[in-house]
Structure 1
Amino acid sequence: MKNVLFTISLIFAMSLLIAGIIFAEEENSTKADTYRVVGIGDSLKEAEIDAYQNAIIEFFKKNLTREDIKTNSNKLLKEFFSLNKIKTYIKSSKVVSNEGSSKVKLVVDISLDTQKITETLNKLGINLKNSDAKEEKDEN
């Protein structure tokens, strides 16, 4: 009877450990997709849009080469910075601080939909810096 209880408690402990590891991986990937940026504008809406654009710029700095950005700047501007499309790449945003005097200044944590951004970049023929390394890891 003791062996059965010990086995059940061991299985339960292992399942909690595995669930904790899986949750931690999801949490880390979410944090990696979140950028703390500043948005400045004449109105709250302008400051918010500026913050969205700055988050996408930070993603590009981190994941694209300078050469890709220079070569494809028109495509990137047209696809990612048009007002009617920019919100489709944002998972969530949380205003951290809101300072207003003559201009509105927001500090915002923005989570990007990196999967959607990556798919769009691939459609435009632009690959991420480390996409080859990621593919090799996936194959192994």
Structure 2
Amino acid sequence: MTAAPTTDSAVTKDVLATGASVGLARSLVSSFLHARGISGIIDAASVIVTELVTNAVKISREPASTVRIHLSVRGTDLWIGVLDLAEGSPVNRLPVATLDEIDASRSEVFGGWGLMLVQAYADRFWIEPTSEGKGKWVCAAIIVRSSA
């Protein structure tokens, strides 16, 4: 049973912009939600954070770059935000639909499902520029519904 959150709480973690950080982000989400007695959205939140962190890692170009992950419960919503300092905003791409469309010489054709998955699992999705003008927060919210 999923309990609706009653108090606001948050955690922020900086991780290196490497593939290993994706697994760390999923663990962070799971631990954060379990500690608050919220279990019904762990899978959806894990998919969202996986895609957001993966995108941030892919576009981080500087050695020793970091990605900031922010999780917060606000009222009845879980907010997930991932900060990267790269230029530009994420864009939806048409994913490869068939094996005939795969051209191994063009690495950009692989993938393309990430933002579509985030938008499918999230109740809200948005992008916020940083106050410093460099980078952006890519965010999603999931409504925590009580199971009765």
Higher gyration radius (CA): 1
* TM, length-normalised to structure 2: 0.28
**Higher normalized strand content (fraction of residues):** 2
**Higher normalized helix content (fraction of residues):** 1
* TM, length-normalised to structure 1: 0.29
